Amino acid sequence: MVRLALVLAAWLAGGAAHAVDDPYPWIAAAYLVKRDGVVLWAGQPDAKLPPASLAKLMTALIALERGKLDEPVTVGRGVLQATGTRIGLKPGEKLSAGDLLTATVVRSANDACRALADHIGGKSFVHTMNQRAAVLGLTSTRFADPCGHDRDGQYTTATDLTLLAEQVMRHDEYLRLARLERATIRTLDGRSFALRNTNALLGRYPGVIGLKTGYTEGAGNCLVALAERDGVRVLAVLLNAPNRWWNAVGLLDRAFAAAR
């Protein structure tokens, strides 16, 4: 009887610990929330899931680490294969690498992302993404497309995306771009593109910085949200979250409230 009581107590304790770890199991297939680098809550953080356009975090990181953002880029024919969100780039047009990065971060434009990736690494760019992931210790991530289109064998986790986001956050230029509600870029001969950020939290949630949105049919609605108030930073990663905006706001609110 005593032994049964001890077993029951241990089971209840385990259940309670799980509830603390994952208090919101309904909000997403996987999520993770950090405040100032410390994990607050997580649900299925190591589940391997499609990243959608959150893959662009790695593309942007490689571009930022490479530098040369003033370098002119001639748009290749690969942009004709880009689907989903596009700005309408044409093969042969020339833009700076920095403007392509802006369109990739702000508008999540797949044609701009493709042009940037092709310019930096061509067909080997995905290999470069996976090499960089290995160096960062993203052991449960494999990229198969620089822009996040659904591809066989492409996956990541909320844990790995948090690590990737924290690496990207070291770059002030990325944070500057992620904050922009609107931006304009131009080809070198003057054709302009007006960009509107895909992040619905910008201008609506106090302290929001970014970082990246994503959606594909296979991945569902995805989001990496970063916000800062009074020196406190909260980072939330959500994968396949049907109500990502409301859920992100709720997670951010609770994380900031817990810091008081």
Residues 217 and 240 sit within 8 Å (Cβ to Cβ): no
CB half-sphere exposure, 259, CA atoms < 13 A: 20
Q: What are phi and psi of 196, to 5 degrees?
A: -120, 130
Measured distance CA(247)–CA(172) in Å, rounded: 27
Measured distance CA(97)–CA(75) in Å, rounded: 10
CB half-sphere exposure, 216, CA atoms < 13 A: 21
From 34, 48, 68, 108, active-site residue = 108
Residue 192 appears among annotated catalytic residues: no
From 56, 96, 140, 212, active-site residue = 56
Burial environment of residue 189 by CB neighbours within 10 A (0 to 12, 13 to 18, 19 or more): exposed
Residue 56 appears among annotated catalytic residues: yes
From 34, 53, 140, 212, active-site residue = 53
User: What does each C-alpha distance from 82 to 73, 132, 145 come to in angstroms?
Assistant: 17, 24, 11
Residue 124 appears among annotated catalytic residues: no
Measured distance CA(19)–CA(25) in Å, rounded: 9
Measured distance CA(222)–CA(53) in Å, rounded: 8
Task: Please list the active-site residues.
Answer: 53, 56, 108
